[in-house]
Structure 1
Amino acid sequence: MVLRRLSALAAAVALLLGGVLVAASPAQAAVRVLYYDASTAQEFASVVHQGAQIWNARVTNVRLDPVPAGRTPNIRVYADNGWPRAYVTSLGNGRWYMGREATSQGYYQPRIAAHEFGHLLGLPDRRTGLCGDLMSGSSAPVSCTNPNPNSAEIRQVDAAFAGSLATAGTYVWR
């Protein structure tokens, strides 16, 4: 009874002050923010940001943001002349390379960026050959321009960041 009256009083005060009182849901976890550094991605910096935004538009439990000044990034992105590849130290942490070998062969750059971010988000290569599977990587044809994760990939990333699953490994775009 006392608790009910205190709740009603708190709601009334919030309304008088122009605010809204919202009850927190215990099932709703905070979004985990991962900071990435694209400063060494050279000519691919804008496509790195595009790859991050592709994920941000589709998942709810994690967000990829450019690293603010003075903060250590979770993810570092580099450019080199090899194949794109990722080195995952733990879920959401590591580095990946935007390899010019794949881009010079005509692979779609936003797809590469989203794919490599996918590794840092806990997804392995799946080599299905299907353009609709982001993690099929280079097994999909060069003509594939789909940079979006499919529903299963989205669910797997959201599930990984809802809990404490840790993933480590090396992934090479081949």
Structure 2
Amino acid sequence: MLMRRVAAALLTMVALAAWATPAHAATRVLYYDASQAQEFVAVVNQGAQIWNSKVTTVRLEPVPAGRTPNIRVYADNGWPRTYTSSLGNGYWYMGREAVNDGYSKPRIAAHEFGHILGLPDRRTGLCADLMSGSSAPVSCTNANPNSTEAATVNRLFGTSVAVPAGYFTERAA
């Protein structure tokens, strides 16, 4: 009899905890500053919108006046690269070298945002994999994360898992 009461109490507590727990974590907003991305500002915005259309736990927004951005985007003549300080924080370069080599600008922008969102390079060579980066053919224009990449970002931001700081570059060794 005592065991039944204990079991019933435990079931009630579990049910109450499940009812009180929100089904989805609040969407985390990350602010980015593309003011130094030079001729690539529009494509940086496009890369952010691609991610916003594919994930639910994080949203990339242009930094409003008076706020410090989580992400800064620059342009230079080198290869695209990203430096992260923690999950959702860091800076990246829209490198003209890859653009001049013929790589898709929206794919580059979405890929570099992917690093800020916690994804490493995969170098699968598949155009369907956004994080395959420059291992995919130059002709690849797919700028959308695949379902696994989007699910990983949703999981990372839904659970607030710490992702270590890192440096990512697209140039193959």
Instruction: Name which of 114, 117, 123 aligns with 2:119.
Output: 123
**Structure 1 unpaired stretches of 5+:** 1-22
Q: Comparing both structures, which one devotes a greater share of its residues to helix? A: 2
Aligned residue type for 2:100? S
TM-score if structure 2 supplies the norm length? Answer: 0.86
Map residues 56-75 of structure 1 onto 2, 5 A cutoff: 56-75=52-71
Alignment deviations for residues 88-120 of structure 1 (CA, whole Å, 9 cap, x no partner): 000000000000000000000000000000000
SS in 2 for 1:79: strand
Pairwise CA distance, 1:24: 7.8
Pairwise CA distance, 1:27: 2.6
Distance 1:24 1:40, change over 3 A: farther
Aligned-partner Cα distance in 2 for 1:68–1:113:
20
Pairwise CA distance, 1:152: 0.3
Pairwise CA distance, 1:164: 1.7
Identical residues among aligned pairs (%): 74
Aligned-partner Cα distance in 2 for 1:28–1:156:
15
Pairwise CA distance, 1:25: 5.7
Aligned-partner Cα distance in 1 for 2:52–2:20:
23
SS in 2 for 1:114: helix
Map residues 67-146 of structure 1 onto 2, 5 A cutoff: 67-146=63-142
Aligned-partner Cα distance in 2 for 1:149–1:24:
33
Instruction: Name which of 149, 152, 156 aligns with 2:152.
Output: 156
SS in 2 for 1:57: helix
- Paired positions, count: 152
Alignment deviations for residues 16-70 of structure 1 (CA, whole Å, 9 cap, x no partner): xxxxxxx986232110000000000000000000000000001000000000000
Aligned residue type for 1:96? W
Aligned-partner Cα distance in 2 for 1:144–1:24:
46
The aligned residue for residue 169 of structure 1 is 166
Aligned residue type for 1:128? T
Instruction: Name which of 47, 54, 57 aligns with 2:50.
Output: 54
TM-score if structure 1 supplies the norm length? Answer: 0.85
